[in-house]
Amino acid sequence: MRLFGTDGIRGVVNEELTSEIAFRLGNALGRYISNRIFIAKDTRASGDMLEAAIIAGATAAGATVYRCGVLPTPALAIITKLEDALGVMISASHNPPEFNGLKVISKGFKLPDDVEENLEKRMKELHYAPYNEIGCVVDYKLAFEEYTNYVIQQFSDLDLSGLKILVDAGNGAAFETTPFVLRQLGAKVEVINNTPDGYNINVNCGSTNPDHAREKMTSHNLAILHDGDADRCILLDEKKQEVHGDKILGMCAVQMKSEGRLKNNVVVGTVLSNMGLEVFLKKHGIKLLRAKVGDRYVLEQMMEHGAVLGGERSGHIIFLDRSTTGDGLITALETIRVMILKGKKLSELADEISDYPQVMLNIKCKNKLVVENKEVRELIEKYKREDTDIVVRPSGTEPLVRVFVQGPDEEYINNVAYEIASKIEELTNGGENA
């Protein structure tokens, strides 16, 4: 079984993800990839253990490690790009606190699949440098400043004075960075879920749990909700309605096209992107390309087609002319910029983009080969229509199979989704998973 999934190495700490794995990763990186490694982490308690293990492995191989502390994933991506270096992000993003993950970033970008495969092979053998070549650890105290200064400079023409913004930091990595940048740009900021204790990250808060932020909204113009490592955000408009990634993509794409920023008039979404987004973009002369689910696949399509904007409904949006990866803070600022330039409330902009009904069902299933089962494929073909999209896929990070159906007829798509899910459960429970 491969260690690397769609988003690095991830699993329940001390079960699927151990300090030994972290040590071996650090050792292989230090020996074969780079002798300069920057490390950052989100707020999970297990981050300290994994950080120590990576440092031990990397320095044992002779590498110098720069410890950046708690930072969002996009902050580490920007630092590795500016410093022309390698980085390891310790985070499990939106997953619960018992999970953690190890994500390798090289000069701003995640490693390609073939490099990860080779790295995994190298992890099987340990290398110990002579005593006089052992690496050292440097506390990189400029990390917070380097990232926040970069973002502020990117939006130096943006005046947020007069805006009242609620930030739900999800008790994660952006609990200091996002409020700081927003205040520097002039906004009045209220922050919730910004007291991480190592075990409350993503718990009933943040981008996957918007109800808490809704309760706290009063006269705010909008709310920004992050996940654990802040590589994404969702927004709540002034009416407390959720503004997801598809709507953010649509409004930003049209604005970027009007400014000549949208290269090739192309936007990259995923197979789960709402059909309403596609209709909206087409009306504005913009083509939507669909990648597999996962930011690495969105980025691959962007690079292949010369696109500068791409993303997912989850709020993971990549503005390639700003950053090399999804950044929840940059995503929020780009959206606020559209609000200001068009002189519209967020709800008004979001309402311009229709949402077709969608249903997503998650089925617990360790053997994900069930998605290739003949009976499952026949059901998909049976119910597929020109105006209805059906996607059945394994999760890249959890032992789940996801059934996704969208189209204009809500009753129809619900019936289809539940019938396919029932068939998968029947096959799984019956042991006929392939």
Report the catalytic residues. Answer: 93
Count of other CB atoms within 10 angstroms of residue 218: 8
Q: Residue 319 belongs to what H/E stretch?
A: strand 317-319
Q: CA of 217: how far to CAs of 56, 173, 240, 328, in Å?
A: 45, 22, 7, 19
CA 212 to chain centroid = 21
Classified as helix, coil or strand, 283 is: helix
Cβ–Cβ < 8 Å for 369, 433? yes
Q: CA of 86: how far to CAs of 156, 177, 194, in Å?
A: 28, 22, 29
Residues forming beta bridges with residue 311, ordered by sequence position: 317
CA distance 374 to 131: 58
Going across the sheet that includes 389-394, the strands are 358-364, 400-406, 389-394
Q: Is 231 annotated as a binding residue?
A: yes
DSSP 119-152: HHHHTTS-----GGG---EEE-TTHHHHHHHHHH
Q: Is 354 annotated as a binding residue?
A: no
Two structure tokens written together for 45: 């308690």
DSSP structural state of residue 111: P
Cβ–Cβ < 8 Å for 21, 3? yes
Q: Is 229 annotated as a binding residue?
A: yes
DSSP structural state of residue 372: G
Count of other CB atoms within 10 angstroms of residue 57: 29
Q: Is 227 annotated as a binding residue?
A: yes
- Any residues with CB less than 8 A from the CB of 342 and at least 6 apart, and which? 255, 349
Q: CA of 212: how far to CAs of 190, 193, 346, in Å?
A: 14, 9, 20
Classified as helix, coil or strand, 288 is: strand
- Residue 233, judged by CB atoms within 10 A of its CB (0-12, 13-18, 19+), counts as buried
- Any residues with CB less than 8 A from the CB of 270 and at least 6 apart, and which? 290, 291, 292, 293, 294, 297, 298, 312, 313
**Binding site residue list:** 93, 227, 229, 231
Task: Specify binding-site residues for Mg(2+).
Answer: 93, 227, 229, 231
